[in-house]
Amino acid sequence: MKYSGGGDWYANLETSLPNLIKFCNKNIKTRIHPEQAIVEPSSPELFQYPFVHITGHGNIVFNAQEVQNIRKYLESGGFLHVSDNYGLDQYIRREIKKIFPDQELIEVPYSHPVYQKPYPFPNGLPKIHEHDNKPPKGYGIFLNGRLVLFYDYECDLGDGWENPEVHNDSPATHEKALKMGANLIHYAFTGYNP
C-alpha cells in the first residue's frame, strides 16, 4: 500500500512480496499473479485485493476518506498485513485507532489458525530481525471473530521475505519468514476457516 505521511511505503519493494508470492505458489498451491500491485488507501481498486501489505520505517497518515475506505475494505472481507520495518509502530497504532476507534489492537493468541496452517508456529511469530531486544508480537483487529488486520511487531516479516543476501539472513530465518507469510496468505485466501 502506498500511503502518505513521509514514511517509506516502498521499503522491501524489490524482492519481498515477489519472493512470498513465489513461495506460496510453489508450496501452498496458490495462483497469485507474480507481479505485485501498488494500491493507494483511497482507491476503489483496494477491493480487488484480498491481501494488502503495509511496511516502512516512518510516519504514516491516513486522511478521513482513506480511513473510511480501509475500514469498508476490511469489513467486506479484505485482509491487511502491517509489518513494522522499524520505526513504524507509533504511527501505525495511531492510524489503526482512526480506522477502528472502538477497538484496541490485541495480541493474537498462539492457538489462532494464523499460527497453525499450513505451517505450525506454536510459539507465535518467529523472530526475524532484532530491533529493540523485545520478543516478536503479532497484534490483530477482529471483526465478528474474523482477524482482519495482522500487525507484526519486533519481527519484521517483510525484511525476512527479501532475498537472503539483502540482510544476510540465514536460510532457516528466510524460510521461517516465508512460512509465516504463507500462513497469513492462507488465512486471508481460504475464507478464514480454522
CA distances to 33, 87, 158 from 133, rounded to whole Å, are: 36, 14, 18
Residue 128 lies in a domain: yes
User: How confident is the model at residue 169, as a pLDDT?
Assistant: 87
User: How confident is the model at residue 36, as a pLDDT?
Assistant: 80
Residue 46 lies in a domain: yes
Residue 1 lies in a domain: no
How many domains does the chain divide into? 1
What is the reported pTM? 0.94
Residue 13 has pLDDT above 90, yes or no: no
Go through 139-148 and write b for each residue having 16 or more CB atoms within 10 A of its CB, e for each that does not: bbbeeeeebb
**Distance from C-alpha of 104 to C-alpha of 16, rounded to nearest angstrom:** 28
The pairing of strands 79-84 and 51-56 is parallel
User: How confident is the model at residue 192, as a pLDDT?
Assistant: 59
User: How confident is the model at residue 111, as a pLDDT?
Assistant: 96
Q: How many CB atoms lie within 10 A of CB 105?
A: 20
Residue 114 lies in a domain: yes
Residue 10 lies in a domain: no
**Cell 540482510 found at:** 167
User: How confident is the model at residue 194, as a pLDDT?
Assistant: 47
Residue 102 lies in a domain: yes
By residue count, the chain amounts to 194
| Lowest pLDDT segment from 34-38, 57-61, 177-181 | 34-38
User: How confident is the model at residue 132, as a pLDDT?
Assistant: 79
| Lowest pLDDT segment from 41-45, 157-161, 163-167, 182-186 | 163-167
Asked if residue 98 lies in contact with residue 67, where contact means CB atoms within 8 angstroms, the answer is yes
Domain with 57, as residue range(s), is: 16-189
Residue 184 has pLDDT above 80, yes or no: yes
**Domain CATH number, residue 138:** 3.40.50.12140
